[in-house]
Structure 1
Amino acid sequence: MIQVVTQSKENRRRTELPFTLQDLRTAIPAHCFQPSVWRSLSYFCLDIGIVAALYAIAYRLDSWLFFPFFWLAQGTMFWALFVVGHDCGHGSFSRSKWLNNAIGHLSHIPILVPYHGWRISHRTHHANTGNIDTDESWYPVTESKYNRMPFSEKLFRFYLPLLAYPLYLFRRSPNKQGSHFLPNSPLFKPSEKWDILTSSVLWMAMVGFLGYLTYQFGWVFLLKYYAVPYIIFVIWLDLVTFMHHTESDIPWYRGKDWYFLKGALSTIDRNYGWIAPIHHNIGTHVAHHIFLGIPHYHLKTATEAIKPVLGEYYRYSPEPIWRSFIRSYLSCHFVSDRGGRVYYRRPQSRRPEA
């Protein structure tokens, strides 16, 4: 339903961009829109296998010389597993709803992500990308809001952004209320009640299991084998989300100046170097935002197909991800209170707004 509505809006305003949603879809080979159950399952099984192997090696060695490597590797694999669940949430893992939900829970619950709660809020993000008023995650605050924010609000949003995700699950983002665990949250429709309860109960069961492990083996055991890899996973999740939507030359829109395709282009592809295949090519974010039904393993092909159509509207940064992060971390704080098209600014900087 969302797809039909957004295409209708896009066609009515086609003069604002030199191409339409249909132009982009036509440029992409048809097979890119078709998920393969066996190929999708192979990525899931591979990730699970690597996670299990890392645990087996770490437990057998039980060496503090090995644990730093284990933490980085396992946290990274937690993130890879999240990306598989991300495909499930978009329906691009398979055409089977029950299979998507089953693998989505198996991918997300072990890393403390409430699958349905996150799936639905992420759907809101995709339907409103680039819209200051209605986007869901990593949208900018206005200058007046920034100036009013107490330090406690700014802490995770501006100073510790790579640790913000767990808090977001319980409190969402600035100016928005609701929890990803409660069916009566403004995030959800009444018809989604049982989905939210299912994910929340499974999430609490996972927390209970971790509590049992802690009771049996102690806090050091939990820290070594779960808590530190989980923190690495959170850093990856926040880093990738932040970097795909935070750049000083990416426009944000208000009111009638926003519509789906224009907003979907307010993102940027990033260079993750050799680690990109491990992350299932999550850096190909522009094509993903335009056509969220494309499986991750077809996104590189789809990106190459639409680049000639997008032309200057396609954004890609070839620089190392950490350099990009530092620059955006220092320069992207808020946007103007006025203007239909606005850009990130930092305190004391002034940039003309449209």
Structure 2
Amino acid sequence: MNSATPQSRRPAREWIPVLKAYRDPSLSRSIWELATTFVPYVTLWAIAWWSLASEIYWVTVPAVILTGMLMMRMFAIQHDCGHGAIFKSWTANRWLGRCLGVICIAPAAVWAKKHDVHHATHGNLDRREMGDLLTLTVSEYNAKGPLAKAAYRLYRNPYFLLAFGPFYSFFLEYRLPFRLMDRREYWISAMGTNLSIAIVLGTIYYFGGWGPILFIFVPSTLIGAFCGVWVFYIQHQFEGVEWDHQGNWSVHDSALYGSSYYVLPGWLNWFSCNVGIHHVHHLYARIAFYRLPEVLRDHPELAGTNRVTFRDSLKCMKLKLWDEDTRRMVGFAAADAKAAQGVLAPAE
């Protein structure tokens, strides 16, 4: 895991005109990426359904796992649609995002709004809003009472986060996104997606009963959601991430230097649509996922920024709090040590 120091690194804003050259998507490439995702997805669903009905479970299980991995890929494509990166036409991006939102059970407008807020506020200690994992500072944590500390510890527990988080986000929060219900477009997006999902599941039930829903749809969706939550966690919860208060915060520096480059094997890059190249994506979100490797190829400096290997990522699960003194993510032990030394923030 590595990151340049603020004194030695290149200002993130200087990369904007460089990255602009990679903004335009290729229509043929976008269609190819969609075809090589959707066709295998439908095929694997059919194989899983047939093998489930035939009680050939040794075929069903791997088919469901691969279906879940493809759901992660489709969600990543939906994510790019929200940024207007798959097609040059915003209308085409919106409609593709809406269709994928039914498959991924994530209403397109709701998802896009939350994600836009995330892009606009990530790393800002004064604007920890929706679309991000709550991260307290060491002083904030130490100023809380026992119950609040216990609640935060539970929230940041990796088993709770990775087991309950995907289910909550996709099966509960996206069904009724109360925090966005003040605007009609988000209500329509959520309810329209819910209705479409109900029609799809009703059709599946009509032809196959509960089996395909319980043993293909639910587990494959959870697998895709789990993978997505895991990658999202690593993107912004690594040791060298940056947080600042509004006066010192920069949207460009936070995008590039507050996001990781999660180095994954090629097959995982394919399933995740190169989402590991997150620092480049955050700085210039209009770049289609299939062009992100071009950026690293042409600009090795970016390939060396905020690298997080898979082994590094396992250690990231121990990081829970932002230490404003050391400017690093730390675990609860570091916070407890500071509390024992009497280094506390004013009581709330």
Q: TM-score range by the shorter chain?
A: 0.7 to 0.9
Helix, strand or coil at the partner of 2:262:
strand
**2-structure distance, mates of 1:87, 1:57:** 28
Letter in 2 for 1:113: A
**2-structure distance, mates of 1:196, 1:38:** 34
**1-structure distance, mates of 2:281, 2:61:** 33
Cα distance, 1:35–1:146 mapped onto 2, change above 3 Å = farther
**1-structure distance, mates of 2:325, 2:312:** 26
Helix, strand or coil at the partner of 1:65:
helix
What corresponds to 1:232 in structure 2? Answer: 223
CA root-mean-square deviation: 3.1
TM-score normalized by structure 1? 0.79
**2-structure distance, mates of 1:45, 1:213:** 23
Shift of 1:153: 6.1
Cα distance, 1:326–1:194 mapped onto 2, change above 3 Å = same
What corresponds to 2:42 in structure 1? Answer: 52
1:137 aligns with 2:132: yes
What corresponds to 2:346 in structure 1? Answer: none
Provide Cα deviations, 1:301-340, integer angstroms capped at 9, x if missing partner: 12344443x697x2112x3x3x3343111x212234xx48
What corresponds to 1:269 in structure 2? Answer: 261
What corresponds to 1:64 in structure 2? Answer: 57
**2-structure distance, mates of 1:217, 1:246:** 42
Letter in 2 for 1:327: K
**2-structure distance, mates of 1:117, 1:219:** 29
Provide Cα deviations, 1:178-205, integer angstroms capped at 9, x if missing partner: x7745xx555774xx2254134322233
Identical residues among aligned pairs (%): 18
Shift of 1:226: 0.8
Contact kept in structure 2, 1:33 and 1:294, CA below 8 Å? yes
Contact kept in structure 1, 2:25 and 2:85, CA below 8 Å? yes
Identify the match of residue 243 of structure 2 among 252, 263, 273. 252
Provide Cα deviations, 1:331-352, integer angstroms capped at 9, x if missing partner: 212234xx48843221221599
1:332 aligns with 2:319: yes
Contact kept in structure 1, 2:76 and 2:272, CA below 8 Å? yes
Unaligned runs of 5+ in 2: 1-5, 344-348
Cα distance, 1:263–1:21 mapped onto 2, change above 3 Å = closer
1:24 aligns with 2:15: yes
**1-structure distance, mates of 2:172, 2:250:** 27
Q: Which stretch has the larger CA shift, 284-293 or 242-251?
A: 242-251
**2-structure distance, mates of 1:244, 1:302:** 18
**2-structure distance, mates of 1:147, 1:141:** 15
**2-structure distance, mates of 1:315, 1:170:** 32
**2-structure distance, mates of 1:45, 1:70:** 18
**2-structure distance, mates of 1:196, 1:35:** 30
- 5 Å matches for 1:10-21? 19-21=10-12
The count of aligned residue pairs is: 320
What corresponds to 1:97 in structure 2? Answer: 90
Shift of 1:274: 3.1
What corresponds to 1:39 in structure 2? Answer: 29
Shift of 1:128: 1.5
Letter in 1 for 2:25: P
1:106 aligns with 2:96: no
Contact kept in structure 2, 1:126 and 1:289, CA below 8 Å? yes
**1-structure distance, mates of 2:327, 2:175:** 29
**2-structure distance, mates of 1:188, 1:146:** 32
Contact kept in structure 2, 1:130 and 1:252, CA below 8 Å? yes
Cα distance, 1:169–1:66 mapped onto 2, change above 3 Å = closer
Instruction: Considering Cα pairs closer than 8 Å and 6+ residues apart, tell me whether 1 or 2 has the greater RCO.
Output: 2
Unaligned runs of 5+ in 1: 1-14, 173-178
**2-structure distance, mates of 1:122, 1:16:** 30
Shift of 1:134: 2.0
Shift of 1:230: 0.8
Letter in 2 for 1:296: F
**2-structure distance, mates of 1:141, 1:171:** 25
- 5 Å matches for 1:140-151? 140-142=135-137, 143-144=141-142, 148-149=147-148
